Structures are given as structure tokens and as C-alpha cells.
Amino acid sequence: MNHKERMEQGLIYNPNLPEITGDQFVYMDKLWEFNQLKPSQFAEKERYMKEMFAECGENCYIELPFRANWGGKNVHFGNGVYANFNLTLVDDGDIYIDDKVMFGPNVTIATANHPIDPGLREKAMQYNKPVHICENVWIGAGTVIVPGVTIGKNSVIGAGSVVTKDIPENVVAVGNPCRVLREIGEHEREYFYKKERIDWENLGDISYTPLG
């Protein structure tokens, strides 16, 4: 098994070999072009994302600049994904981002990791573990998500969190390390900020199935 195959299987490998970096630079060059687009070039942005990413659904938008270690090659976007500026995806491994996920500014998702063993790190050895952000998750500004993590459907990650373990669905989780603060339920359906109530009657036609 060569090192490129080891990389694809989540095993320890050398990321600096020419057969790996040669491919990587092709994708990074495309990402550089993407970052030169004007804010008004919506159609061009969409076209680039569909070319760069492993998968990209409809109505996705990224505020530039956007960074990805493999130029988005291993990024899987669902539909309606929104990312504020400075999203950084260390996409040496697969990153799955489901429908209607939102990212605040300066979020980092890393799939790449290095062995703790000093000898292996000295040789720049690496391994990758996938990250999965499930449907309708909101990731607050400045959050860091480490390799191997899954964040469950509808959950909210508070700004500045460091997510080191899986987060279940339908919860608010915050902190370093990130921990569940509470479940999302009736309180969130009544209040949008502290004691300010949601005026549903003035919001137009908003149809959805409440949690639970």
C-alpha cells in the first residue's frame, strides 16, 4: 500500500511526498482563483464550488476569503449551506456538511492530525479522520472542530468553542472543551434573545415541524 492509499484509508502517512503534494497544488490553485472573485459574482462562485468540492448542493454561499488545505477536494456540501468569512477547512480527509448548516466568521474544521509519538512527528507523519456536521446546525464564530467529530442535527455550537467530542442533536453546546449546555425546546420557540419573545404573528408564512 502506497502513502496516497494510506492517506485515503485514514492511516498514518507522509503528506510531503511528490505524488501527494502534486495533486494538492492543483486543487489549491483553483481555490486561489475562487478567492479572487468579487462579492457580486454569485454565479461564478457557485460554479467554482461545484468544480472544487467533492459535492456541492444548491443555494450555497461562502463569504471570501475561504481556506482549504486541499482546495475543497474532500468537502461535501448539502443544500443551502452558508459560511461567513474566513472559514478554514483542513480537508485532508472528508468533511461532510449537510443541508442548511450555517457558519459564523473564523470557524476552523480540521480532519488532519499528527501522532503524539515524537519520532513520527519529527518525520511530519499525519493521519486524517472525517468530520460530519449534520443538518441545520449553527456553528458560532471562532469555533474549532477537531478530527473525527460529528455534530448532531439542529444543534448550536456557541462562539469560541473547541469541539473535541461528538455533540448530540437538538442541543446548545459551548466551551473549551465544548459541552452540552441544554436541550433545544419550548424555551427557544418562545424567546429569541434573553427575555425577548418571538413575534410569530409578524414573521409571515413560516412553516416547520417543532422539535419533539
Residue 152 falls inside a structural domain: yes
Query: Helix %, strand %, coil % for the chain, to 5?
Result: 20, 25, 50
Instruction: List residues with catalytic annotation.
Output: 114
> What is the mean pLDDT of the segment spanning 125-148?
98
CATH of the domain at 149: 2.160.10.10
What is the distance between the alpha carbons of residues 130 and 207, in angstroms, rounded to a whole number?
33
Q: Is residue 95 part of a domain?
A: yes
pLDDT of 209: 59
Alpha-carbon span 109 to 147, nearest angstrom: 8
pLDDT value at position 19? 86
| Predicted pLDDT of residue 208 | 65
- Domain carrying residue 170: 3-184
Please report the pLDDT score of residue 210 as a whole number.
Answer: 58
Within a domain: residue 56?
yes
- Residue range 53-101, pLDDT digits in tens: 999 999 999 999 999 999 999 999 999 999 999 999 999 999 999 999 9
Could you give the number of structural domains in the chain?
1
Domain assignment present for residue 98? The answer is: yes
Q: Quick check: is 40 in a domain?
A: yes
State the DSSP string of 32-92: HHHTTS-TT-HHHHHHHHHHHSSB--SS-EEPSPEEETTTTTTEEE-SS-EE-TTEEEETT
169 in a domain, yes or no?
yes
Q: What is the mean pLDDT of residues 152-174?
A: 98
107 vs 187, more confident: 107
170's grid cell = 437538538
pLDDT(211) > 70? no
Any domain includes 145:
yes
Q: Given this model, what pLDDT does residue 173 score?
A: 99
Give the chain's mean pLDDT.
95
Contact 62, 53 (CB under 8 A): no
Q: Does residue 212 have a pLDDT over 60? A: no
Q: Percentage of the chain surpassing pLDDT 70?
A: 97
Q: Is the Cβ–Cβ distance between 63 and 42 less than 8 Å?
A: no
For residue 203, is it within any domain? no
Q: Which tens digits make up the pLDDT trace of 12-35?
A: 999 999 988 888 999 999 999 999
